[in-house]
Amino acid sequence: MDGVHDLGGMQGFGPVEVELDEPTFHGEWEARTFAVAGGALGAGGFNTPMFRHAIERMDPGHYLTSSYFEHWLTAVATLLVEAGMISRDELDARAGTFALSRPPTVAADDVQLVSGRDAPSFAVGDAVRVRDAHFAGHTRCPRYVRGRQGVIVRVEPVVPIPELEAHRNEKVLDPTYGVRFDAAELWSDAAEANAPVHVDLYERYLEAV
């Protein structure tokens, strides 16, 4: 989805704020939430794409004003409620209003099952263009590279397609690649010199040039 989480290239967020001597967890609740999430995802059989999509489905205002572990908290609670393992009422009774993510806008049946590919079609050095697709559900193809041309620099593992894991809980394989984009291809006259960007992309996102 073209969501608020897809931040690459957006402007207006200001400087990177670095906290000196930052602890791994800011408060006990972050550590507990990290562990609770791991346990609950395993217990519910939720895969990583499902979890990521539950974060992406957060209200955009909530997403931008909450911390990483609040994203985790919200997403895990959402998945558990959607699966019927806990109820929204049970959460609200203990915590006041417990903000959850929005429902998915893509139904499983809307996502076509495709046959997998277990061997790469592209090789290092091949020129490729990223398909300009705008899927409303979970995808790992960032907006800022769609429609752009790059070069394969690394053939990466053959792994399950995130769209099908997220929406159909199906593991269908696709090769992945490291793709180099010249900065000017991405940012035109605003590009910095001598600063290519590499993005890891599934073969299904790419077409030969």
Partner 1 sequence: MSDEHGHRPEPLSDVERRARALEELLTEKGIVSSEFIDQVVEAYAQDVGPMNGAKVVARAWVDPEYKQRLLADGTAAIAELGFGGPEGDHIVAVENTPDVHNVVVCTLCSCYPWPVLGLPPNWYKSPPYRSRMVREPRAVLAEMGCDVPDDVEIRVWDSSAEVRYLVLPARPPGADGASEDELAGTVTRDAMIGVAR
Among 89, 110, 200, 207, binds partner 1 (CB under 8 A): 200
d(CA 139, CA 129): 17
d(CA 145, CA 122): 18
Which of these ranges, 94-102, 107-115, 120-128, 129-137, lies near partner 1 under the rule CB under 8 A?
94-102
Residue 26 binds partner 1 (CB under 8 A) = yes
Residue 166 binds partner 1 (CB under 8 A) = no
Among 45, 60, 67, 147, binds partner 1 (CB under 8 A): 67
* Residue type at 159 in one-letter notation: V
CB of 20 to partner 1, least distance (A): 10
Radius of gyration of the chain (CA): 19
Q: Which of residues 131-160 bind partner 1 (CB under 8 A)?
A: 140-142, 144, 154, 156-157, 159
> What does DSSP say about strands 127-130 and 197-202: parallel, antiparallel, or unpaired?
unpaired
Residue 45, sorted as left (phi over 0), alpha (psi -120 to 50) or beta, turns out to be left
CB of 93 to partner 1, least distance (A): 8
Total site size for partner 1, rule CB under 8 A: 76
Which of these ranges, 91-99, 104-112, 113-121, 127-135, lies near partner 1 under the rule CB under 8 A?
91-99
Nearer to partner 1, 109 or 125 (CB): 125
CB of 109 to partner 1, least distance (A): 25
Which of these ranges, 102-110, 118-126, 163-171, 197-205, lies near partner 1 under the rule CB under 8 A?
197-205
Residue 94 binds partner 1 (CB under 8 A) = yes
d(CA 162, CA 49): 6
Exposed e or buried b for every residue in 38-63, given b needs 16+ CB within 10 A? eebbeebebbebbbbbbbbbbeeebb
φ and ψ of 68, to 5 deg: -50, -45
